[in-house]
Structure 1
Amino acid sequence: MSAPPKKQELETEESSSSCESDGDNEECMEYTGNETVNIDFEGRSPSDADFFGIKQLLQQLFLKAHLNLSELAELIIGQQNIGCVVKQSGAEELNEDDVEEEDDDDGLMEVFGVTSVINLSCKRDQEIIGQLRTLLSELANEHATTDTAELIKTVLADPEKPLGLIINERYVNIPCQISVPLLESLSKEITKAKEKNKPFDFGYYLFICKLHKINANQTKKKKNKRQSSEEILWSNPEEEIIDQATELKFEFPVETDSGLGGNWSEEDKMMSSFRRVLLFPSDRLPNIIDRIKEAVA
């Protein structure tokens, strides 16, 4: 990032156990209640060391889509002064012995979130850009209304109004308040990049949001064909605000993912996983960020 890393202290509720972790008692791993844990996070410029952490976050967004996520992670890392990763403040203070004892899987958890933007209208010969464009076109043709699909097709074909895909991924337990400084910082970085005539002068922005639907009426009524009401759970709550400010959108179902993990009882209602694609003109982004700020304050 062009600016110094930002830090924000947040409270997160995480599952915890009341017994000591001795590695021998499996019951210690069971959920027993919530604790409030104060953690300082900060945004940093992505580096090569963040590759696997970024890739894992991209996997939870795109699931089994046929995309070269390694190349996408490298693209995010390679964009100078655009985007950031979320890390725990003071994580670099681990001593050398601690670092040597960590395995590769532990290293993945160092990246708690990633925020960036990808230009889908330039470098079309790049494999990942071509894959993303193809995926978006196919999904729009299959799931969007005719008007929305046509607009997406037009935007993808118009080099004068580039389309920017905003990546807004983090782990589920991190509160949505952190999205405000991340999106504000990204918006400022895009403005600075445009002033330097870099390819970040977008005409439209696109979000791909993760959500889960719960059928409020589990019993089917053959005589009454009314659609049962559905409760929507957003993985990133601030994206509901973006959804409310966006007219052009479509959604599609995905295979069940691990975004909402935990132990479930027989009484728990079944959830279906979806992705919702939101498209809006770039000049709306500052207002959308303001609305998110008001909603999460």
Structure 2
Amino acid sequence: MSANLKRKAPEEDEPVKKVAAKVNTENSDEEDSDDGLQDIVDVDFDFYNPDDIDYHALKKLLTQLFASDAEMLELGDFADILIEENQVGTTVKVDDQKSDPYAILSVINLNQYKDKTGVKQLCTYLSNKCPKKNETMNKAVKKILSLSTDKHVGWVVSERFINMPVEIMAPMYTMLQEEIKKAVIADEPYAFEWYMFISKTYKEVTSTADEENEDQPEQKKLKTDINSETFYFQSEDEIISKYAEYQFDFKFTNSEKEQAADSRRAFSDFGIAPSRKLLLVHKSKFDDLVNEITKTCASTPAA
């Protein structure tokens, strides 16, 4: 057991590092109850290497990332890689090592695993999403995702449950940065030219029910303003976007399924239109990116 435990503290003999953070346990479906009161609890988060026992939970987190398009990708391949290459990457748990992870931050060398079905599907999927009207970016992105050169691409896999506090990302990114550097020194395949991020985004949408047939209210549709602001589900992604040399928004291929799912979360007059953003960060900016994330997301030390 202890051999698989990630010891993140500076001292060898210090126990597994924990991060204390406040978690909002309020049920979002009960906003009108209890006068809007929220239950706040203190939770200690433990960091562990990805382990065989995490396979299904990691696959579930990846399914959450790709939403309605998850069925288009062999996500089990990525779960296998995250577990196999567990010298780099961290899961977050709240009970013990046998419990399911609430978050994952790791990196996958897409070039190293380019023959895997899941990797082939992912690169094709993202290449097809790249806007054709921007010829310069389209050409550059497709060349990077072709994995045909010796300039390797590392997909930074970052996903967590929605109620997980952003404070956990500060130590996780610091650990990832340190582990990548150690792996490179050990001549392992973690020397990346590009770091790839897939960010979860959304825009606010308004109901067009009044414009529809009043006899068919179930046909309510949601309308997105193309000029409306883009929001990030994970706030650190806004920092990442500042360092990206190439980035573009894209919609789900199975957008109808995603809109149907979102309608269950939307209020009567307003909802969200979820989408994704691909970001490619050059290696020269990765350390600065990590430093800003750790500085911005770091939790305030307890008094």
Q: Output the TM-score relative to the length of structure 1.
A: 0.78
Instruction: Please give the alpha-carbon distance, in whole angstroms, between the structure 2 residues aligned to 1:86 and 1:239.
Output: 19
1:15 to 26, 30, 55: 26
Indicate whether 1:248 and 2:250 are aligned. Answer: no
Q: Give the CA deviation at 1:135.
A: 1.6
Instruction: Please give the alpha-carbon distance, in whole angstroms, between the structure 2 residues aligned to 1:28 and 1:237.
Output: 24
| Secondary structure in structure 2 of the residue aligned to 1:205 | strand
Structure 1 unaligned runs (5+)?
Answer: 18-26, 95-106, 220-226
Q: Could you say what the CA RMSD is over the residues aligned between the two structures, in angstroms? A: 3.2
Alignment of 1:104-253 (within 5 A): 110-140=100-130, 142=131, 145-155=134-144, 156-215=146-205, 229-253=227-251
| Secondary structure in structure 1 of the residue aligned to 2:177 | helix
Q: Output the TM-score relative to the length of structure 2.
A: 0.77
Question: Residue 11 and residue 147 in structure 1: after superposition, are their counterparts in 2 closer, same or farther (change >3 A)?
Answer: same
Instruction: Please give the alpha-carbon distance, in whole angstroms, between the structure 1 residues aligned to 2:83 and 2:202.
Output: 30
Instruction: Please give the alpha-carbon distance, in whole angstroms, between the structure 1 residues aligned to 2:180 and 2:108.
Output: 11
Q: Give the CA deviation at 1:28.
A: 9.1
Instruction: Please give the alpha-carbon distance, in whole angstroms, between the structure 2 residues aligned to 1:69 and 1:147.
Output: 30
| Secondary structure in structure 1 of the residue aligned to 2:25 | strand
Give yes or no for contact 2:26–2:38 (8 Å, CA) kept in 1: yes
1:56 aligned residue: 60
Q: Give the CA deviation at 1:157.
A: 3.9
1:287 aligned residue: 288
Aligned length: 264
CA offsets, 1:168-198, max 9 Å, x none?
0001111111111111111111111111111
Q: Give the CA deviation at 1:258.
A: 9.9
Q: Give the CA deviation at 1:82.
A: 1.0
1:101 aligned residue: none
Question: Residue 45 and residue 284 in structure 1: after superposition, are their counterparts in 2 closer, same or farther (change >3 A)?
Answer: same
Instruction: Please give the alpha-carbon distance, in whole angstroms, between the structure 2 residues aligned to 1:144 and 1:8.
Output: 45
Q: Which runs of 4+ in 1 moved over 6 A?
A: 27-30, 216-219, 257-262
Instruction: Please give the alpha-carbon distance, in whole angstroms, between the structure 1 residues aligned to 2:113 and 2:226.
Output: 45
Q: Give the CA deviation at 1:211.
A: 0.9
| Secondary structure in structure 2 of the residue aligned to 1:15 | coil
Question: Residue 263 and residue 273 in structure 1: after superposition, are their counterparts in 2 closer, same or farther (change >3 A)?
Answer: closer
2:78 aligned residue: 72
Alignment of 1:259-270 (within 5 A): 264-267=266-269, 269-270=270-271
1:20 aligned residue: none
